[in-house]
Structure 1
Amino acid sequence: MSRSQATSCHSLVVRLPGAVEAGELARRLRTAAGRARAELAGLPLWEERVDLPAGHPRAAARARREAERPLRAAGPPLRAVLLRYADDAADLVLVARHELAVDGAALTFAESEPEASATPVAPATPVALEWGLGEPAAAGAVAELPLPDGLPGDATLLVGAAALVLARYGTGAPVDEAQDVSAYLAGRPAYEGGVLDLGGIGVLVEEARAGQWRVAQLAPALPGLLHLTVGADGTAAGVLRHRPSELAPVVASRFADHVAHVARQLAADPGRALETVELLTPAEAEHVLALGVTPPAGSAASAVRTIDGLFADVVRERPDAVALTAGETSLRYAELDALAERTAAGLRALGVAPGSMVGVALERDADLVISLLGVLKAGCAYVPMDLRYPEDRLRYTVGNAGAGVVIGTGGGLPADLDGVRVVTPAELRALGDAAPAAPRAEDGAAPAYVIYTSGSTGRPKGVVIPHRNVAALVEATRGDLRLGPDDVWTLFHSSAFDFSVWEIWGCLLTGGRLVVVDHWTTRDPELFHAQLVRERVTVLSQTPSAFAQLVETDRPSPADALAVRLVVFGGEPLDVRMLAPWFARHSPTACRLVNMFGITETTVHVTAHTVTPADVLATGRKVGPALPGWSLSVRDPRGRLLPVGVPGEIWVGGAGVADRYLGQPELTARRFVEDPYGGGRIYRSGDRGRLRPDGALDHLGRLDSQVKVRGHRIELDEIRNVLLGHPDVTGAATVLNHETPGDAATARIDAYVALRGTAAPADVLAHARGVLPGYMVPASVTAVPAIPLTINGKVDTAALPAPGAAAAPAGAGAATDGADPDGADPLTDQVLKLWSHALGAEVGLQDNFFELGGNSLLVIRVLREMRDQGLPKVTTQDFYRNSTAGRFVELVRDARG
């Protein structure tokens, strides 16, 4: 039978003690049923002999099977079956459609009144319990489990308990937990019968009747139905009937226990503050906490080790092995060590004391890795900066970090860094030639680096990470990922992005070879793919957005062209569906794909999940259990532990927790807290997730205005505050949009501003470009009379207009500017159409690709479409240098000529 048939039926089982005369019973049934429905005047009574006593478990199971068997779609609205047992007792099983009410005591039937019906109104849209962890393979099945006996027999209290549990779960109506129990129950509407939908779970409370039991819905109309019966002794019992495809049995069991646990607490102390009512018992809390903890791998020695100390161990073991390849440069471990020692000596010669912050602003090359290692050998912490960031951001980073020395070439750095010495790597090493060696004791608690992440105040915040965290990360992953000296890694990411920490030290501390990928190669999937093949790279770290481009590039090449055995995803959520073409060409046993959730404040990675083709079919959000030495849990806004399945804020503890935010003690105190459950120092991530029964985590996005765009963590409020910094902006809002829903390549940030005076959106955009790095600059700035607000005072994003083309410079949209007005130049038309299609806007020859919302992924898309259309190949570097449509057309024309 279909689920819809089962949903439309309920059943009643009436115990008939002693001998039963079937003919008389059938006559009574036909008479009573015929009064309700004329068509039932000839109702048959089916009879079956069960050769077991009524009290036997198999006899009870037989009665349940009959009670749960739905009616046929074309059949009558009532079925009556008499089960006779060996001890002369009998059960009358009545199954009826919901429009027919059944009174078991008097064996009467009547048309159900809508307000008294036990059938909830089906929701307009399917209910999906985010906390249910349903099992799709169980579609069509129905399960039932009992609640503990002896519950309080007050209907209002029972419904209130269920409502409070569902509010804590996040699907029920919010509850003011500042009130006490009695005020909460008094404020709830009186329960008047029928099924209440409290947020995906129905609740039905009825009086118990001796010798009867019923199934209120053979298949719940909602994912679950909590059916409670109040007995004459003032206590209640109940069952939770649920659909396992939407509410997994283990989660359903916990939910039932939570309702019982909360109901008992409400009944025990009416004066108790609602916020102190516990959802979990102490035993369950201990179990859930243990689920999120993975014991450390190896010994505890990593807690006192430094990155440079561990590197020295590798140098002693493999002095002549190649450590680093960067273009034409190749350095052995001993050579890299010696150059870094000279760098450290040069810092000492400049008077840089251990514990100082040293800026590093270099392109991705050998000097970058040498300098980072040299800073650590000097006992200092490196502060990496991306030279493509605006001067204002670089200036702020240097000043906020208190860096007196910046290792750089001068190019790209602000010229007015007062009191800061900029020294090239070569100059630093030359200074170190004459400086004496200065060995130092290892201190794992000393800061190793400070990476700046987006901050809601309009300025980035520096995260201070000690050496021991990186040592613990390498130790936690070495065994499971089989990291070792046979591996070849890439340094693909900016040193200002903490993914680079994993790439550099994950490789060099396990004896591998690090291949440095220059900036322009990272922007060109074809060049990058060729480098992977040429260097026989085995370990690859990628954001999903970047890997999606690599998957496309890999398709035409032989399946065995790549030597990659491990791909680590990080930086942004992974949509596993994008991996289908990869798995079609590459066996998961030959190349392991690992999705790792992580945060800068918890040292790059927190969890690991090996992605399989089955995950692609399930399209889940799983990121795996905690790494060895890390812990995670899911909490509500008050810091209370949430049960398995229930979404909340991810809290991370253990070996990866950062030291602090640099110079921000108040923010540090808010985000790095002592765990009220005794887990030590723990970080409140602001990320949303849920824990699974096996301890794996599902990552569900952000709780605040932070978003991920192509691997970059961005606080939308930081962009908003920068916009408000323009003197003519009176209000601002920022939103994340996608030109194509679900397509990461089309992710864009659109801004809205309320202006005064003569300022134009283009002026605001120019202001933003002077402060924000390129990946944070809005794709559009649209002027509105005022920023619309909801009744709660928040930005009403639904009321904002479609993004305008305010980001474009004057003359934007003049599609024939500079071209033959009759369209006599096919190349111009072809290129402009390609750009317009990629950007979702009309493009003119004066328009700049990036000012219209273009990004690195859309560049790749345009170049690929050009190739498919037979146009000449253009490098990504040339695209960036000729990003105005008119110049780009001429570039293509010259290449074709």
Structure 2
Amino acid sequence: MLAPDADPHSPSSPGDAGQSTSSSSLNGSYVFPASTSQERLWFLREFDARWGAAYHLPVAFRIDGPVDRLALQRAVNLVVTRHEGLRTRLAHLDGQLVQVINPHARVTVSVVDLGHVPEAERWDEVQRLLATESQRLFRFTEDSLLRLTLLRLSGTRHVLLATLHHIIADGTSVELFLRELVASYGALLQHTAPHLAELAVQYADYVAWQRQWLDTEEYTKQREYWGRKLAGAPLVLELPTDRPRPVVQSFRGANKEFRLSREFAASVRRYAHEGGSTSYMVLLAAFAVLLRHYTGQEELLLGTPVANRQRPELEPVIGFLANTLVVRADLTGDPSVEELLRRIRETTLEAVAHEQFPFDKIVEALQPERTLSRNPLFQVMFGFQEAPHARLALGGHPLTRLPVETGTSRFDLSLFLTEDSDGIQGLVEYSTDLFEADTIDRLTRHYQAVVEGLLRGGHQRVSQLSLLTETERAELVASAFRAEPEPTALLPQAVEAQAARTPDRVALVFGSEQLTYAELNARANRLARLLKARGVGAESRVAVCMECSPDLVVSLLAVLKAGGAYVPVDPRYPLERVRYMIEDARAQVLLTRRELAHHGEGIPHVVSLPEAGLEGEGDANLEPVADAAQLAYVLYTSGSSGRPKGVMISHGALANFLTTMAREPGLRAEDVLAAVTTFSFDIAALELYLPLVQGARVVMATREQAADGRALSGVLARHGVTVMQATPATWRMLADAGGAPGPGFTVLCGGEALPQDLADALTANGARVWNLYGPTETTVWSCRKRLGAGDRVSLGGPLGNTSVHVLDPDLRPVPVGLAGELFIGGSGVARGYWGRPSLTAERFVPDPFSARPGARLYRTGDLVRRRAGGELEFIGRADHQVKLRGYRIELAEIELTLRRHEAVRDVVALVWGSSEAERRLIAYVVPVAAQAGDDTLAQRLREHARASLPEYMVPSANVLLDALPLTPNGKVDRRSLPDPRSVMARGGAMHVAPRTETEGRIATIWMQLLGCDQVGVKDDFFELGGNSLLAGRLVEALDRTFGVRVPMRDLFLDATIANLATVIDGRRRKASVVEAPHVDELVSGLTDEEVEALLNEPQLGHVNTQHVKEGSR
């Protein structure tokens, strides 16, 4: 029933045979209307010639025996004469696409003799010729759309290749052609007539029936059915791809074959029979489960081909009769396998009952958003067929079917399964623009694993069907952890040891002030003694509230030496927030500056620096009072409830972080590190502590310097800074100010996703660039990746003693290449949230992969995937991935595209609006200074986005800002972005009437085609109701009116009258410039007297007369 090579752009046959087809004549050929599916393929070919090869139907055979070439040629033309479809070409007549059938057409079999090719190279040459010939484009209006090539390897070895274009045939037609060809050849060898039943109808009759059926009540009923069935369905299947999706499909592709055993096929048949379904339904259900795992989508649209030959008289007809059904697979609610099969059975039976409705009419009825990046309605095809290929022989010599690699793929992904006597032959056709071959290899293994799981029992849930074998699972778990030696000292003792080794080395620099290691350690010891006297001990919380200064570092170390845990409090936070944090942490002491002492209202002890009376305290090291499990700090981060939550980090987690970062990226004693991050941001721990345990120097920038690119650049230069850690926003600010670091400088970038363009800019100058990733809850950084010039940004791998697992919602490892949530385990995992046990239990879950008692994983909420090499790729926050009008959109991709524009300094994209009706994509853009006042920038950005993104990802408006609002930690504050309605500069345009003659004539054509009274030059053809068929008629009308053939691609990329007028006027000007023949040609053969006479003609004038004289001699 289901043929793997049918196509979605196809018709159906009507219920009743109609009257005989009437025709007109054209140069001795018969002319008939084209079918709706032929119109679709014509349109696709007009749009881009590369579509043509994607719709070739090649088939090749090895013939182990002699071939009578004359008999083969005669046999081919016997079949061609018998079928009008094989004598058909396409043409436009009076604005309509028609079939032109030549009653006398003949097809010549090309013969290529490879006998001269060395034996060792002969088969490679066969493969090359098969690929070349199968991809060679047809000319619809001139060529026969059937080609045959016979490759002669020797007198008894041949290869026959037949290529038909899908516009005249389908998969069933190919099989019919082959059967009739071998029958005719055999009869000719026996000098008899082939025994072929007379055809009752031809393809033109089918087209006439179809067009009559489109006016029937049954057509209306089926249209209503498909409208109901597909209403609200997701029109895009977001498969994870290895490469970004191109804006326009290229249809480059490849095939991957695999085989399932005879026993496997028997198990499928038996399971299907027991459940009252078919093998097709079981295998389709398994494919839907696989796609659910790959995409995370619980509703899927899949294409599935049908032969569409219900009427017996259509069975032997060669032509494009096949249709494609759209199957809506419903996996919502995590159904049992049994329930899923019931849903699949019901859906497919309903679809087959309405299979006459042409796919093109479904597209026309649903009007999906126009995009050139993917197919409409569905992007994945599934086909299953039972033993379709009869054993063929040519003149008694068996034909062995050979694979033909066309290098094309019509869809993102197609899975075709064919059951034969040896089991099930699988073929995956995939887009090479999107997928690597290794990815497809894994997909075939995962599919087999799902089918095997499905066959094990109907009561298990769909989510329980694993893609992984036990071996793959074990490999993923093992590769997730990176073991390193545990740290030998906690932070206070590590600083003390460094002070003992290098007491006179400068440790801290702040403006004109500096501290040596000995001075820093002594001051911290004195303050620690004072804190202990105020009751600070194990697990005591000490709030530290002060601006950046040496006193800040002294205070933090002192708290740790005293055995307490510090709570960083930014003095610039609102007073209400400051007091909430201090009260929530139940801090016993506030360490601050005198001018900030009022923050300590209600706290038992307030210690103000530098007037704290430390002179009497001893400066010797204290006895260590902390162990690895003890609390080191409580850092408050924003909470979804609106209340900050305190993250508890232990001494052991902090020590492990510093130890592993000291190894890689590494820090040398001679390095100078600029500290630019406010200490209430967790990444400040690296800036303040890593240099101190390595004997390096910390240069502390003021908050104002850190927020000013030029000022920060000056700090780096004055102090000879060699290392800096900052967020992408700070690095971009520095680069914009001309302070991008060069060779010898180490760039540590984290806190937000590192845009590819910024990474490229930083690596281009020769700096050592590290991309760092990690949530506060796993102690600063958990992953790191050294980026070289041109490297694709990734998170890399885990830090030492850290595990990074990509898991599904059931905490099972996700296969390589698939998206999942990142869970982090190991030594860096926080103890939890201070005073929030329920939230701790929600975000910190037991680690099922660790043998360590009590081990936990932190649920990051970040979507990542593991690459084939083991590195992690950041996809985005789960809450930053949005769905709009049925499309899943990654905002980071939009931001990256807009950043590539020369006028853009920074950008943030988001979905604005509360109700579905008003939800719009908005881009907040900070232009470079030179473009800030340009009124055309918003429109230019929209055009730039449309050149790189599908239409549904183009922002509705570009809001221009002087700067993006930032949090105190240097991250973009999305909540503070303004309401776009108050400031937006829209990319759309008001009505603009035609301004030139060309625009006016185009407008007239539009109004005739679209049936509207007024159009503007900025209006979009498709937004006014145009579709692909009307686009084809528009191209023809423009050709008749202007004598210019507008490429369909130009129309789709910018379907406005203004653009079409520009294209047409440009081509007309180019056509009017005719290259003149060389003067030598004009005067050759003339005498000198005749040349002089010509030069004296007044019309010639004096232009180039010297060249004429010289050219005549």
Q: Per the alignment, do residues 838 and 660 of structure 1 end up closer, same or farther by CA in structure 2, a change over 3 Å counting?
A: farther
Q: Per the alignment, do residues 338 and 580 of structure 1 end up closer, same or farther by CA in structure 2, a change over 3 Å counting?
A: same
Q: Distance between the aligned counterparts of 1:203 and 1:659, measured in 2?
A: 49
Q: 1:190: which partner in 2?
A: 348
Q: Distance between the aligned counterparts of 1:573 and 1:736, measured in 2?
A: 12
Task: Determine which of 705, 715, 720 is the counterpart of 1:531.
Answer: 715
1:475 aligns with 2:475: no
Q: Per the alignment, do residues 465 and 3 of structure 1 end up closer, same or farther by CA in structure 2, a change over 3 Å counting?
A: farther
Query: 1:257 is paired with a residue of what secondary structure?
Result: helix
Q: Conserved in 1, the CA contact under 8 Å of 2:911 and 2:920?
A: no
Q: Distance between the aligned counterparts of 1:699 and 1:644, measured in 2?
A: 13
Shift of 1:270: 3.0
Residues 762-813 of structure 1, C-alpha deviations (whole Å, 9 max, x = no match):
xxxxxxxxxxxxxxxxxxxxxxxxx53x5xxxxx76079999xxxxxxxxxx
Q: Conserved in 1, the CA contact under 8 Å of 2:523 and 2:619?
A: no
Task: Determine which of 586, 602, 612 is the counterpart of 2:788.
Answer: 612
Q: 1:577: which partner in 2?
A: 757
1:393 aligns with 2:566: no
- Aligned identity (percent) is 28
Query: 2:582 is paired with a residue of what secondary structure?
Result: helix
1:158 aligns with 2:223: no
Q: 2:242: which partner in 1?
A: 132
Q: Distance between the aligned counterparts of 2:763 and 2:894, measured in 1?
A: 29
Q: Per the alignment, do residues 365 and 736 of structure 1 end up closer, same or farther by CA in structure 2, a change over 3 Å counting?
A: farther
Q: Distance between the aligned counterparts of 2:236 and 2:404, measured in 1?
A: 22
1:82 aligns with 2:126: no
1:514 aligns with 2:702: no
- Which of 542-551 and 100-109 deviates more? 100-109
Query: 2:649 is paired with a residue of what secondary structure?
Result: strand
Shift of 1:698: 1.2
Q: Conserved in 2, the CA contact under 8 Å of 1:394 and 1:413?
A: no
1:201 aligns with 2:374: no
Residues 617-669 of structure 1, C-alpha deviations (whole Å, 9 max, x = no match):
xxx44222222322212222222221111112111122321111111111111
Q: Conserved in 2, the CA contact under 8 Å of 1:746 and 1:858?
A: no
Q: 2:68: which partner in 1?
A: 21
Q: Per the alignment, do residues 706 and 171 of structure 1 end up closer, same or farther by CA in structure 2, a change over 3 Å counting?
A: closer
Query: 2:862 is paired with a residue of what secondary structure?
Result: strand
Q: Distance between the aligned counterparts of 1:432 and 1:73, measured in 2?
A: 96
1:624 aligns with 2:805: no
Q: Distance between the aligned counterparts of 1:166 and 1:272, measured in 2?
A: 18
1:647 aligns with 2:816: no
Q: Distance between the aligned counterparts of 1:133 and 1:28, measured in 2?
A: 47
Q: Conserved in 2, the CA contact under 8 Å of 1:652 and 1:683?
A: yes
Residues 320-375 of structure 1, C-alpha deviations (whole Å, 9 max, x = no match):
11111112221111110010011110101111222211110011001000000111
Shift of 1:569: 0.5
Shift of 1:87: 8.6
Q: Conserved in 2, the CA contact under 8 Å of 1:738 and 1:744?
A: no
Shift of 1:573: 1.3
| 1:720-869 matched pairs, under 5 angstroms | 742=899, 745=906, 747=908, 788=915, 790=916, 798=919
1:498 aligns with 2:682: yes
Q: 2:430: which partner in 1?
A: 242
Task: Determine which of 283, 286, 295 is the counterpart of 1:170.
Answer: 295
Shift of 1:32: 1.9
Shift of 1:314: 1.2
Q: Per the alignment, do residues 472 and 144 of structure 1 end up closer, same or farther by CA in structure 2, a change over 3 Å counting?
A: same
Structure 1's unaligned 5+ residue stretches are: 117-122, 708-734, 753-786, 791-795, 804-830, 841-851, 860-897
Q: Conserved in 1, the CA contact under 8 Å of 2:675 and 2:684?
A: yes
Q: Distance between the aligned counterparts of 1:135 and 1:510, measured in 2?
A: 45
Q: Distance between the aligned counterparts of 1:433 and 1:706, measured in 2?
A: 55
Task: Determine which of 396, 417, 420 is the counterpart of 1:228.
Answer: 417
1:44 aligns with 2:108: yes
- Which of 59-68 and 481-490 deviates more? 59-68
RMSD between superposed Cα atoms in Å: 4.3
Q: Distance between the aligned counterparts of 2:289 and 2:129, measured in 1?
A: 33
- Which of 568-577 and 362-371 deviates more? 568-577
Q: 1:219: which partner in 2?
A: 408
Paired AA for residue 866 in structure 2: L
Residues 805-833 of structure 1, C-alpha deviations (whole Å, 9 max, x = no match):
xxxxxxxxxxxxxxxxxxxxxxxxxx9x9
Query: 2:664 is paired with a residue of what secondary structure?
Result: coil
Shift of 1:435: 9.8
Task: Determine which of 415, 420, 426 is the counterpart of 2:610.
Answer: 426
Shift of 1:415: 5.0
- Which of 189-198 and 458-467 deviates more? 189-198
- Which of 603-612 and 444-453 deviates more? 603-612
Q: 1:715: which partner in 2?
A: none
Q: Conserved in 2, the CA contact under 8 Å of 1:490 and 1:541?
A: yes
Query: 1:534 is paired with a residue of what secondary structure?
Result: helix
Q: Conserved in 2, the CA contact under 8 Å of 1:633 and 1:691?
A: no
Shift of 1:166: 1.0
Q: Conserved in 1, the CA contact under 8 Å of 2:910 and 2:921?
A: no
Q: 2:645: which partner in 1?
A: 461
Q: Conserved in 2, the CA contact under 8 Å of 1:17 and 1:88?
A: yes
Query: 2:348 is paired with a residue of what secondary structure?
Result: coil
Structure 2 length normalisation: TM-score? 0.59
Q: 1:807: which partner in 2?
A: none
Paired AA for residue 86 in structure 2: R
Q: Conserved in 2, the CA contact under 8 Å of 1:485 and 1:510?
A: yes
Q: 1:103: which partner in 2?
A: 174
Query: 2:798 is paired with a residue of what secondary structure?
Result: coil
Q: Distance between the aligned counterparts of 2:337 and 2:125, measured in 1?
A: 40
Shift of 1:704: 2.5
Q: Distance between the aligned counterparts of 2:922 and 2:239, measured in 1?
A: 32
Paired AA for residue 255 in structure 2: E
Q: Conserved in 1, the CA contact under 8 Å of 2:678 and 2:684?
A: yes
1:293 aligns with 2:293: no
1:181 aligns with 2:337: yes
Q: Per the alignment, do residues 57 and 670 of structure 1 end up closer, same or farther by CA in structure 2, a change over 3 Å counting?
A: farther
Query: 1:663 is paired with a residue of what secondary structure?
Result: coil
Shift of 1:318: 1.3
Q: Distance between the aligned counterparts of 1:377 and 1:744, measured in 2?
A: 45
1:146 aligns with 2:257: yes
Q: Per the alignment, do residues 60 and 836 of structure 1 end up closer, same or farther by CA in structure 2, a change over 3 Å counting?
A: closer
Q: 1:675: which partner in 2?
A: 847
Q: Distance between the aligned counterparts of 1:472 and 1:838, measured in 2?
A: 53
Q: Per the alignment, do residues 683 and 436 of structure 1 end up closer, same or farther by CA in structure 2, a change over 3 Å counting?
A: same
Q: Conserved in 2, the CA contact under 8 Å of 1:134 and 1:248?
A: no
Q: Distance between the aligned counterparts of 1:227 and 1:134, measured in 2?
A: 25
Q: Distance between the aligned counterparts of 2:677 and 2:467, measured in 1?
A: 43
Q: Distance between the aligned counterparts of 2:933 and 2:637, measured in 1?
A: 32
- Which of 402-411 and 671-680 deviates more? 671-680
Q: 1:382: which partner in 2?
A: 566
Shift of 1:416: 6.8
Q: Distance between the aligned counterparts of 1:310 and 1:372, measured in 2?
A: 14
Q: Distance between the aligned counterparts of 1:198 and 1:737, measured in 2?
A: 23
Larger radius of gyration: 2
Q: Per the alignment, do residues 88 and 750 of structure 1 end up closer, same or farther by CA in structure 2, a change over 3 Å counting?
A: closer
Task: Determine which of 527, 545, 565 is the counterpart of 2:745.
Answer: 565
Residues 171-199 of structure 1, C-alpha deviations (whole Å, 9 max, x = no match):
65532363221221221133869999996
Q: Distance between the aligned counterparts of 1:800 and 1:644, measured in 2?
A: 31
Q: Distance between the aligned counterparts of 1:205 and 1:197, measured in 2?
A: 22
Q: Per the alignment, do residues 169 and 660 of structure 1 end up closer, same or farther by CA in structure 2, a change over 3 Å counting?
A: same
Q: Per the alignment, do residues 173 and 249 of structure 1 end up closer, same or farther by CA in structure 2, a change over 3 Å counting?
A: same
Shift of 1:611: 2.6
Task: Determine which of 870, 876, 882 is the counterpart of 1:701.
Answer: 876
Q: 2:12: which partner in 1?
A: none
Structure 1 length normalisation: TM-score? 0.73
Residues 656-697 of structure 1, C-alpha deviations (whole Å, 9 max, x = no match):
211111111111111111233447421110011111111111
